[in-house]
Structure formats: C-alpha cells, structure tokens
Structure 1
Amino acid sequence: MLIKLAILLTHPVQYFAPVFRELAQQPNLQLKVFFGCNHGVIPSEDPNFGVVFQWDCQPTAGFEHEFLSHNSLEDLKGLRGIRLATKAFNTISSYQPDAILIFAYSPTFITASTLLLYLAGYKLMLRAETTDEALSRSYIKDKIRQLFLSFYYRQFTHFFPIGTNSINHYLRMGVDKSRMTLAHYAIDIEFFQKQVDFWLPQRGALRANAGIGKQDHVLIYCGKMFPPKNPLIISDALENLSPLEKEKTWFIAVGDGELREEFERRIKVQLDERAIFVGFKNQLKLGQYYAMADTLILPSQSGETWGLVVNEALQFGLRVIVSDKVGCAKDLITDVKHGWIFSCSNFFELAKIISQEIMQTKLKNRELESLPNPSKLATNVYVQLIA
C-alpha cells in the first residue's frame, strides 16, 4: 500500500534536507515537501547575520518539493501569511496526502495552514523546536502561551520532540507521552564527514600557517553575533584568564551580525593577533575552522532551542562549552568527555572552564567518535507513525 506524506514548512533548511531525502527513498512512501517560500535557495538576506547568502549544500535536492511563493520570510507573517495559508491548503489538498507532517507552529502562515488542514480532517503530526527554556516570559505571557498551545496541539495526532526540553514542554502543555516519539535535532553526518576527512588531516598545517603552536588552545565561536547568542560574555571570561593562559589561547570567530564590531574589538583587546574573525562562512567552508579548533563555545542567553553548531563541533572531535540556555545541553553534553555547561550570565564560571581546557590541551589527543546517522534515525521515527 502506497502512503502519501506531505511535509509543510516555511522555507528550505539545510539540516532537514537529509531527512527528506531518506524519506523519499522509503519503499511504499510517496513524499512531497511544500515550502512557504524559497528563502536561502536564492540569495537572501538574514537579518541577524546581516549578510546576503545562499546555501551551498543543496537543501532541496533529492526529494519532490514545491514552493508556494517566492516571497520573503516576512511575508509569511500577519495577513499575508493567512492569504498564503489558503493557497497552501488548496495545493496540499490537491496532492491528497494520507498524512501531513508540519515543521513548526509559527509564523501565521504555518498556524493558519494547520487550522485549515485540521478542519478538513487531515491526519496531522508536528515536529517543532518547542521548549519553555529558550526565552524568559512574564507569568501572564506564559499563561496566554500555554492556553494557546494547549488548544493548538489538539489538532495533532502525534508529536516528534527534538530533545529533553521539548519533551518537558509538551508534557506541560498536556500532551500525553504516548503521543510522542523522540527525533533528535541533528546535522547531515555524511555531509560533514566529508569535511572531517578532508580538513582534519590538514589540522597541523592549517594551525601552523596561522601561527598557532602545537600546545596552544584554540577556542571557536560559530554563529550569529547578536544579543540572544550572548557572544560578549566570552571577552569577559578571557579577561579573567592569567597572562600565561592568554598567551596559549587563540580564538576563531565564524559569523557576523550587529555585535561583530564590538565583539571583535573586545576579543582583540584580550588576545591581540591571536583573535581571528573570518566573517560569515557557508556550509562547505566551515570544516577548516573546526579542524583548527579545540573547543567550541556557545554562550546563548535566549532563543537557542537546540544549537546545531554543537553537533557539528562534536563530529570534528571538539569538546564544547555551552550555556544552560542551549537546548541541546541536556541531550549532548552528558559528561566532561563532551564538554561543560555553565550559567549563561556567569563569566567567572566560563573563565574557569576555559582555564581547565587550556591545561588539558597539554595532556590530551583529540579522538573522533563515530556518531549515528541522524537522517536514518529521524526517518525511522517519522515513518513508523505515518501508516
């Protein structure tokens, strides 16, 4: 029996593509992905990076898909989002799916599309970046959100939480655990393994060309440079290192955003020429910087529902330092073998951890661990609930 599955989401996301490709190869399953817009496939501006970019990893290759519009992400909100939801409903209905997997519960385009599809009697499943810990809310706002989501979730037959925080969120919203199947947020292991295989053998040469000594410790920050990511706390932590520790510390920053200028200035006050800021880099160019590094720092203070750079860094054999506001912390940072968790506002704690890592650099040799293919894991948990 052939099962027809429709997937609805706002725009192509590079991390979802391997899951969709795996689903498209499943026997007895016909898949079609419906995107609200083509952000990221064509040159698009990211307001937080502050740059125009286009993904270089083919986020729509290998599966049947359709763009419902060629609008911007902003056009998926408000009244324009509602109008596009009507088109989404009609287009998906014409496809006549047996089930619909929806990625996210916002913006308006997704919310309205979900309501229309539910009223038409379709079997709906939800995979969203749900958490109660990424943002701080007032008591009143939290209660309003809880009432809305408790009602909204009644439209779905099954849920795919992305991690521990996500499970706890659904439980708090009244979703029974029997209606959940864990589908960890993951990267394209095969895509990044090619970079691991190419760049890691060049680690020594890359570091030597940059002037990095064999016993020096290289910290890396990879992401948007704006307030929710809390990057400036790193400079506060470095200020509390001893002069000897600073002499052995390098810092690589990959990314851009509104705090770029201040972030770079403050880090260079502490590390001088040992601070390397390379700007925004696309997926195919990330590997060389991970290969040069020893430890990733992700100090987010809000909005970090998961933190996929942690997955990327772990695949390159790095240890990671994450704040307690990073969604993946409870799932991926299970012991000091993988890294540490610190309070997002405590730069003294962060400095202490960095000091420990600098000391251990002299004693350890990094070893890569084989990680399960997240595409296959996600495929298994999605497929078993469709029929």
Structure 2
Amino acid sequence: MRSASALEPGWHAGLHRCRQARHPPMPDPECCAGDRRGRLGRGAKGGGMNAAPANQKAGHEAGGRPLRLAMVAQFPVHYHLTLYRHLAHDPAIDLDVLFMQKAWADDGFEPDVNAVIDWGVEMFAGYPSKIFRNFSPWRNRPGFWKFVNLGLIWRVLTGPYDAVYIHGHNHFSHVMCMAAARLGGKKLILRNIAYNLGERSKLKRMARRALYGALYALPSVCLYIGRNNKDYYRDFGVGEARLVHAPHVVDNAFFTSEVTRLAGREAEIKASFGIEPGQKVVLFCAKFMEKKQPLRAVEAFARAGLDDDWVLLMVGEGALLPVIKKRVAAEQYERIMFTGFLDQSRVSEAYAISEMLILPSSHQETWGLVVNEALNFGCAIVASDRVGCVPELVEGRTGVVFPHSDTEALAAAIKRLARDPEFLIACRAEARDVISGWNVDAYGRALHRALGIQPS
C-alpha cells in the first residue's frame, strides 16, 4: 500500500478547489440590486433587494397579510441558504435577509482555512437579500468591532417589520440591532448556538453572566438547537416560556438526492480518491484548525492498527494542513490521504464511500453540521464529548462518543466500529432514521411557533 505522500500528487490537484492567492478586494455594495425596488425606504441606500422566488403570498394576504420578518446575519453561509430559501417560499412570511457584509472579508478570504473558498453554490439566489455598508475599519479582522452597519441598525429600527430575527450577538451591529428591534416595537427572535461545554475561569463565568444576562432579557424568544444550547440559555436566566427548539439542519433533500445519484458508483468514486475498490473508509471532514484536532484524528487512526483494507480520508483545508502532512511523512503513516477542500457535490462523494465519520473537536463545536450530512449517507459517527449534537444525533444510536483529549479512546472507538461489523451495521442502520426529523420543514414549524403564526 502506498503512503499518503506517494498518493497525493496524482490526484490532489484535481480536487483542490481553494484559491490560495488573495484576490483583489471586491467592492462592498450598499445593497444587492433586485426586483423589490422601493421596498426598503430610509436607511437602505439603493432601494433594491435580491428577488425571492415567486410564491403564493397574494392568496395568503386575502385572509390577512404575511408576517413581515427581517433576518439579520453577518454574511451568507452555505449551511443557512436552505433556511432562507424555505422561508422565502413560506406564504405566512414576507422575508428580508439583511447582511452585514458580503463575506467574512472583502476579498472572500476565510482565515480558518487560509484560502478563498468556492462552495460551488450561488450564495444569493432564491431569497430576498440586502448587504448594508460596513463602516468598521476592522472589517477584515475578528472582534466585537468587526461589523458597524449604521444603515442596518436604522433599518431594523424604522423598517416595516413585525419581527426581527438576529443570528448571534458577537459584534456591535448585532447588539445594536437587538436594541433597535426592541425600541422599534418589533418582536425580537434571537438565535445563538453557543454552549457551556469546556472549562472557563470562575471570573470569566461571572462576567459573562452579568453581561449576557442583561442581553438575553431583550429577546421575546430564544431559539435553541439542542440540549447543550438550551442549557446555555438557562444558565443566563432565560426561562422555559421564552425557549423554542429550532433544529440545526442541513438540506436533507439535497443529500438524499445525492445518495440516489451516487448509488452504484462506489468503485469509481474510490478510484478518483486513489482508494482501492475493496478498501473501507474512515472520514475526517472539517477545517484543519486547532479546535477540530485533525492531528489527533491522524494519530488515532495510526494507533488503531487497522488492517490494510481501511484508509483514512482527510477532507478539508486550513493552516494546520501542511503541518499534518509533514507529520504523516515523518512518522511514515500509511493509508492516510488528503483531498483539500471539496465543494458540495464532491464532498457528497466522500460521504458516499465512507463507513464512518470522525469529529474529534476539542472546543466550540457547538453542533457539528458535518454529522447531519454524514448521517444522510448512512455513516456511523465517532464524536468527541465536546461536539454539541452528541445527545441528539449520536449517543446510544449512531456511533461512539469519546473524551476529547484522549487519543487512545478515539483509536479504540475507531477500532470498535471497524472490527465489530454487527455494531457498525447497527449504527449505520440508525443513521438515516435519526436524521430524518432534523429537516428544514421542522425548522420552519419551529419558527412559526416562535413568531406566533398559527398552523394553517
């Protein structure tokens, strides 16, 4: 069997979709021009919105107009597109999605992966959206002052909305939009997916309770994605009456269609990754950054001592990738392969040939949507105890949970699934059943409850 370093040159270039060179800065448009002109009024220079798909809202208006909802987010994230598009077709909701910036940075550069990423999807299609000017001089850096969107804050305060949905509260614009929504008499919905897993000093916990306790008094409803997130809200004094479960979801319909598209092509797909037809795949699919612990994944696979019919496929990009490749070469680890970044269609192929997904994150893995994706393909899961979705999607049903700092425990979990075919089959058999209820329709129903929209 060839080593990872021998495998990579022949096929890596064809899969690698990241553009490492920094592109010239893109303009920061005040808005995305579209078909809904004149709708935005004051605070929305340019007066245009990206058009939503045609739907049947006129019929709903005959019995009472749709609820006017503004969703405030930093910038488009591919995981959220299915939510925006679903709500754009909802006859009970008249949606505007208001962004603080076009991407993480002006040029689309993402520091977590040290590259400009092309997800292979249209980020602004299928829902009405607007990008507001960001006045922050620190717009291309992390931190509280990254987003200072005066027009957005004014729009939330004065716009014709019944409710404002804000994703997160980590920046100046988030906090000011929360205050503006309340001052403007709108119903405020907050979605913050944080959790309390992990060590914090007593002083930090006290400071957070004082600050966030006041902040969390503002929303009418707080949406939680799972048990760990709910416990987080409760820790800051949010009562049960203001909590609504809104599941963290991916586009299950898309991935189900991918399962059908790729059925029967396993040998062909494996060959494209340099994997032999009879070999079985352990998959790591994440950014190569410290909190995802890609090096622990590599070391655990090596320590598991699996037979030559098992390989580790490492999918992703990031600053740690060259470090890990050097480590693999130095230790002469075999059957470990790197693909670089894969877009949505290509990553589906990686899931389709995998027996199990490993997610060994050490902290701040507030959910782990990669688990949702893998379950759609019937993969078993090995996840650390710091992965937020473990209670709902993994524990006792689809795989094994291990202590996040224990490489031997991760190796043992991989070995257990690989060497116990009945257990592996049982976990994989549960996968699609577990994930079936975590879909965009369930999210839409939850948002209706949060907004007080009665079932039709």
Q: Give me the TM-score of the superposition, normalised by structure 1.
A: 0.90
Which position in structure 2 is the counterpart of 1:162? 225
What displacement does 1:97 show? 0.2
> Structure 1 stretch 194-203 or stretch 344-353: which is displaced more?
194-203
Q: 1:101 aligns with which of 162, 165, 170?
A: 165
Which position in structure 2 is the counterpart of 1:291? 352
Contact 2:153 2:173 in 1 (8 A): no
- The answer to whether 1:179 aligns with 2:242 is yes
C-alpha distance in 1, partners of 2:221/2:145? 28
Which position in structure 2 is the counterpart of 1:57? 121
Contact 1:162 1:183 in 2 (8 A): yes
Contact 1:57 1:284 in 2 (8 A): no
1:147-296 equivalent positions in 2, closer than 5 A: 147-207=210-270, 210-214=274-278, 216-242=279-305, 245-267=306-328, 272=333, 274-296=335-357
Secondary structure at the residue paired with 2:339?
strand
CA deviations over 1:147-206 (Å, ceiling 9, x no partner):
111100111001110111011011111111121111121111122222222223211332
Q: 2:402 aligns with which of 315, 324, 342?
A: 342
CA deviations over 1:250-283 (Å, ceiling 9, x no partner):
0111111111122233345667552210101122
Contact 2:156 2:184 in 1 (8 A): no
- The answer to whether 1:81 aligns with 2:142 is no
Q: 1:375 aligns with which of 440, 444, 454?
A: 440
Instruction: Report the AA paired with residue 265 of structure 2.
Output: Q
Q: 2:196 aligns with which of 125, 132, 142?
A: 132
Q: 1:319 aligns with which of 342, 361, 380?
A: 380
Instruction: Report the AA paired with residue 68 of structure 2.
Output: K
- Gap change, CA 1:316 and 1:212, over 3 Å in 2: same
Instruction: Report the AA paired with residue 82 of structure 2.
Output: P
C-alpha distance in 2, partners of 1:29/1:383? 9
> Structure 1 stretch 18-27 or stretch 54-63: which is displaced more?
54-63
Instruction: Report the AA paired with residue 352 of structure 1.
Output: A
C-alpha distance in 1, partners of 2:153/2:236? 26
Contact 1:40 1:53 in 2 (8 A): no
Aligned Cα RMSD in Å? 2.4
Q: 1:351 aligns with which of 392, 407, 411?
A: 411
* Seq. identity, %: 25
What displacement does 1:385 show? 2.4
Instruction: Report the AA paired with residue 201 of structure 1.
Output: G
Q: 1:121 aligns with which of 185, 193, 200?
A: 185
- The answer to whether 1:6 aligns with 2:90 is no
Contact 1:40 1:55 in 2 (8 A): no
CA deviations over 1:287-333 (Å, ceiling 9, x no partner):
11111211111100011111111111111110110100111111111
C-alpha distance in 2, partners of 1:286/1:217? 17
Instruction: Report the AA paired with residue 144 of structure 1.
Output: A
- Gap change, CA 1:136 and 1:74, over 3 Å in 2: farther
Bigger Cα Rg: 2
Which position in structure 1 is the counterpart of 2:93? 29
- The answer to whether 1:145 aligns with 2:202 is no
What displacement does 1:117 show? 2.5
Higher share of residues assigned helix: 1
- The number of equivalent residue pairs is 380
Secondary structure at the residue paired with 2:217?
helix
- Gap change, CA 1:313 and 1:73, over 3 Å in 2: farther
- Gap change, CA 1:34 and 1:76, over 3 Å in 2: farther
Secondary structure at the residue paired with 1:303?
coil
> Structure 1 stretch 363-372 or stretch 312-321: which is displaced more?
363-372
Instruction: Report the AA paired with residue 415 of structure 2.
Output: S
- Gap change, CA 1:41 and 1:386, over 3 Å in 2: farther
Contact 2:167 2:190 in 1 (8 A): yes
- Gap change, CA 1:130 and 1:79, over 3 Å in 2: closer
What displacement does 1:29 show? 2.0
Contact 2:190 2:222 in 1 (8 A): yes
Instruction: Report the AA paired with residue 94 of structure 2.
Output: Q
Instruction: Report the AA paired with residue 381 of structure 1.
Output: A
Which position in structure 2 is the counterpart of 1:386? 451
